[in-house]
Structure 1
Amino acid sequence: MLSISSALQGFTTLTTSKHDSGSARFELVPSDLDDLLVGSPKICIIGNYGQGNVGDESLLAGTLSLINGRGDLTVLSKNPERVAALHKVPAAAMKSFRGVWALLRSPVVIVGGGGMFGAGQPPLVSLLAFVLLIEATLGRRVGLIGIGVYPGVPGIVAWALRRLSSRASFVAIRDEASREVFSGAKLCADLAFSVTPASRDELNRLRKTHGIAAEGLMVMSLKPAPDIKLIQSQVEVACIAARAWLNAGMHHQLVFVCLSALGDFGWGRTHTDESMAAAVINQVKGEVPSYSTRVVCITPELSPALAKALIGSADKVVGARYHAMVFGASMDRPTLGLVFEPKAQRFCDEYDISQFALPYGDVQHLLGWVRN
C-alpha cells in the first residue's frame, strides 16, 4: 500500500470564482424544453439507467423533472424493471421490440445527461450517435440535455455528433470540455441540480432505519479508480479523514453513501464503492470509540432524491464520486473532492470546491479542512 508520508503531497484548496470559464452556465427549468415538447408528444428517453448507479438515476430524475409530465414517454434501459420501479415511469429494454417501437413511434427523442461519449464507450453508445443523427435528419426532434463528450471519443462518432449538433432541436452540455464537439451549445448545470431532495419525513425515516444522527455528520462517497494504487491511496486518505472526524467529537458520525453497485473502469464486483468503504471501516474500527454506532454504510439502494437529501444534511461531504460532489455543491454543503478524474477536477475548479488530488496530497491541509 502507498506510504502517505511519501506518496501524498499536494493538496489544493481552489479559490477560482464559480463559472469563470467565460461562458454563462444556467440551471435548466421546464420552460427551456417548451419548443422541444410542444404538443405533448410521445417521447423516448435514452440513457445509462437502471444499472445500480445513483448518479445516472439522478440524470433521469432531473430529465423527468424538466419534462414535468408533458407527453407520453418511454424510457429505454438495459434494466427497464428497475427503472419503472424507481422512477414510476414506463420503461422498455433497449434491445427489444417494445424498445425499438418506442423509438420509431416517438417524434421526440431525448438523451438525458451524462458523459456517455468518450474513451472506452461501448459499441451500443457509438451506434446511438448515428441513430440520433438519422432521427434528426428525418425531422424528429432530438434533445441532448446535460450531455458530456470527452477526449477519446472515436473519430467517426465525433463526426456524427458534430453533425447532430446542428440538426438537434435542443443541445445543452454540462461542461466546457464538450464544446470541442458541440461548439455552439448552451452550457448548463448537471441535471442532478434539478433533482428535488426527498422530504424531511422521508429523510427522517432513512435516518431511523440506519441509525443516522441529525447532527455531526460526515458523508463519504468513494469510487474505484482505474488502477489499484489509486484505489489504495484513496482508501488511505479516507481513513485519515475518518479518524480525524470521528475522534474530534463523540457526537460525530460517518456515513458511507455508496452510489454505485459496480466498480467503474471494468472492476465490476472486484472493487466497488462498498468494498472500499469496508476497507476503511476495517482499518479505523479499532481506533475509534463506539465505532459500530458511529460508522454507517448505505449500499446503492437510495433514490436520487434521498441521496441528495442525505448529503444535503451533512456537516461535511467527502466525495470521489462525481455526483456526490454535485449533490454537495447543489445543497451548499462544505465539500471536498477526492480527485483522480478530469471531469471531477473541472467540476471542483468551477464550483470552488476544495480538492485532494490523488494520489498526492498534503495531509495537514486535509486535516485542517476536516477539523475546521
Structure 2
Amino acid sequence: MRAMICGYYGQGNGGDEALLVTLLQMLPANVTPVVLSANPALTQERYGVEACPARAWPEIWQQLRRADLFIWGGGSLMQDATSWTSPLYYAGLMALAQSLGLQTLAWGQGIGPLRRPWTCWLTRWVLGRCSEVSVRDQASAALLKQWHIPALLAPDPVWALQAKPGDGSLALPENRVAVNLRRHPSLTPERLQCLGEALRDFQNATQAHICLVPFQKSQDWAMAEALTRHLPGNYQIVYREDPRELMALFQGVRLTIGMRLHSLIMAAAMGSPCFALSYDPKVKQLMQDVGLPGWELQTLPTDALVISETWQAYFQDNQALSQEERQNLRQQATEHRTLLTRLCAN
C-alpha cells in the first residue's frame, strides 16, 4: 500500500518534522510512505523514505495516481492567519486526491484560525469528504461537531514521539532552563527587550544555565541571539535538526519557557515544568487542555521584574506534569494510530 503524506515538511521546523517522524512511527508495516517535502533529498536521507518535491505538480500527479491513501500529516495546515495561499495549497492537494478516489485522512489536525469565509467553507468542504479525520484539541473538535463532521479527538501526536539522545558530545549543566522564542508580530521589539531584561534578572537570581533552543532557524535563531545580548554569560544556543534529538534536549530541564507549541509539548512530555508565551490560539488551547501556566504575548506584563519573579516562582516550585499524566497523554496520543490502522487494513 502506498500513502502520500503532506505537511509543512522540509522547511527546517522542528515541530512539523516531529509530526512527520511520529506519523512514520505509527504507520503500519505494510505501508510505503511518499513524503511531500520542500527538501526531498534531506527528508529521504534523514528518515529513509521516498520523498517528492512539494511543488513539483507533474511528479505529484504521478505519485497520486500510484497511491492508495493521502494523508494530511499533522499540524495547523488549514489556517489563514499567516497566508491565504497555504489553505488553498493543502486543500487543493486533498481535493485532488479525493477526485482520484484515494482514501483520505486528515490526521492530528489543529483547525484554524480561519478568518476568511471562503477558507472556512473550503476547509469544511474537504474535511467533509475525508475518509477519516483526527484532531488534536478541543476547539478543533468543537468546530467539526458544529459542521457535523465526525472526528477522533486525541492529544497532539508529538506527545507520543520517541526521543533519542544525541551523540553525547554536548554536555549540559544540571541547573538549566530552556527558552524558545520565534519571530512573530506579537513579539514586538519592546516585548522582546522586556523578556531579555527579565531573563537576565531571572538568571542573576537563580544562577541557571540558559539554553536557547531554536526550532526553526529562519524564525528562531535571531530571537535567540537577541536574548544573548542581555545575558552576562552561562548560556548557549542549542540547535538540533533531528526532532528526536531535539525532544531529548528537554530531559532534566528545570523550566522551559516556550512560544512554540511543540517546544512546550516536547518539554512537558520529557518532564520539564513549562511556562507558555502564547502567540496563537493553539498555544492557548494547549495551556487550557494541559494546565500550563503562562501569558498571552499581547497581555505580557510590561515590567521585566514582574516577569522575572513569576519565572523564579515556577523555577523553585518545579511543578511538572506527573509521570502518570505524561503517560496518559502519550497513550491518548497513540489513538491517532487507530485511524491509520483502519484505513491501511482496507
TM-score, normalised by the number of residues in structure 2: 0.81
Map 1:73-92 → 2, pairs under 5 A:
73-92=33-52
The one-letter code of the counterpart of 1:253 is H
Whether contact under 8 Å (1:174, 1:189) holds in the other structure is: yes
Q: Which residue of structure 1 lines up, in the alignment, with residue 88 of structure 2?
A: 126
Partner Cα separation in structure 2 for residue 258 and residue 228 of structure 1: 15
Q: Secondary structure at the match of 1:149?
A: coil
- 2:71/2:107 contact within 8 Å kept: yes
Unaligned ranges ≥5, structure 2:
318-346
What is residue 196 of structure 1 aligned with on the other side? 162
Q: Is 1:281 the equivalent of 2:220?
A: no
- Are 1:261 and 2:217 counterparts? yes
Residue in structure 1 matching 2:294, options 336, 350, 355: 355
- Tell me the secondary structure at the aligned position of residue 171 of structure 1: strand
Change (3 A) 1:235 1:320: farther
Of 8, 28, 31, which residue of structure 2 is paired with 1:71? 31
Alpha-carbon distance, 1:55 to partner: 0.8
Equivalent residue letter for 1:367: Q
2:77 touches 2:90 (CA, 8 Å); kept in 1?
no
**Aligned partner of 1:329 among 249, 268, 271:** 268
1:115 aligns with 2:54: no
| Contact 1:76/1:92, CA 8 A, preserved across alignment | yes
> Within 1, Cα distance between the matches of 2:77 and 2:21?
17
Partner of 2:338: none
CA distance in structure 2 between the aligned counterparts of 1:127 and 1:276, rounded to whole angstroms: 29
* Paired AA for residue 280 in structure 2: E
How far off is 1:326 after superposition? 0.9
Distance change >3 Å, CA 236–CA 185, structure 1 → 2: same
The one-character-per-residue Cα deviations of 1:97-133 (angstroms, maximum 9, x if unpaired) are 3333112210100110011211243525414314323
> Which of structures 1 and 2 has the larger relative contact order (alpha carbons within 8 angstroms, sep 6+)?
1
Structure 2 counterpart SS, 1:311: coil
* Bigger mean CA deviation after superposition, 164-173 or 47-56: 164-173
Q: By how many angstroms is 1:236 displaced? A: 2.3
Number of the residue aligned with 1:241:
199
Which TM-score applies when normalising by structure 1?
0.75
Counterpart of 2:339 in structure 1 is none
Letter paired with 2:152: K
1:148 deviates by 1.6
Contact 1:52 1:260 in 2 (8 A): yes
Q: For the residues of structure 2 that align with 1:182 and 1:296, how far apart are their CA atoms?
A: 43
User: Which of 1, 7, 13 is matched with 1:53 structurally?
Assistant: 13
Q: Which of 284, 301, 315 does residue 370 from structure 1 map onto?
A: 315
- TM-fit CA distance, 1:94: 2.1
Cα gap change, 1:328 to 1:235, in 2 (>3 Å): farther
Of stretches 237-246 and 165-174 in structure 1, the one that deviates more from structure 2 is 237-246
Q: Which residue of 1 aligns with 2:127?
A: 165
Counterpart of 2:235 in structure 1 is 295
The CA distance in 2 between the partners of 1:261 and 1:82, in whole Å, is 16
Q: CA deviation at 1:313?
A: 2.7
**Cα distance change, pair 68–257 in 1 and its aligned pair in 2 (3 A):** farther
Tell me if the contact between 2:64 and 2:97 (Cα under 8 Å) persists in the aligned partners: no
Structure 1 residues 81 and 148: CA distance shift in structure 2, 3 A: same
Q: Which stretches in structure 1 are left out of the alignment for 5+ residues?
A: 1-40, 264-272, 286-290
Quote the offset at 1:345 in angstroms: 1.2
Taking the aligned partners of 1:325 and 1:371, their CA distance within structure 2 comes to 19
Instruction: After TM superposition, give the deviation of residue 176 of structure 1 in Å.
Output: 2.5
In 1, the alpha carbon distance for the partners of 2:45 and 2:8 equals 16
For residues 154 and 193 of structure 2, the distance between their equivalents in structure 1, rounded to whole angstroms, comes to: 33
Q: Determine the C-alpha separation between the residues in 1 that align with 2:106 and 2:187.
A: 35
Alignment identity in percent? 21
Q: Give how far 1:320 is off.
A: 1.0
Contact 1:244 1:371 in 2 (8 A): no
Relative distance call for 1:104 and 1:155 in structure 2 (3 A) is: farther
CA contact (8 A) 1:43 1:109 kept: yes
Amino acid in structure 2 at the alignment position of 1:241: L
Counterparts of 2:254 and 2:28, CA distance in 1? 32
Match of 2:218, SS state, is: coil
Aligned to 1:7: none
Call closer, same or farther: CA 1:182–1:70 in 2, change over 3 Å.
farther
Q: Give the AA of the match of 1:368.
A: A
2:218 counterpart letter in structure 1 = L
Residue 180 of structure 2 is aligned to residue 221 of structure 1: yes
Q: Distance in 1 between matches of 2:142 and 2:119?
A: 13
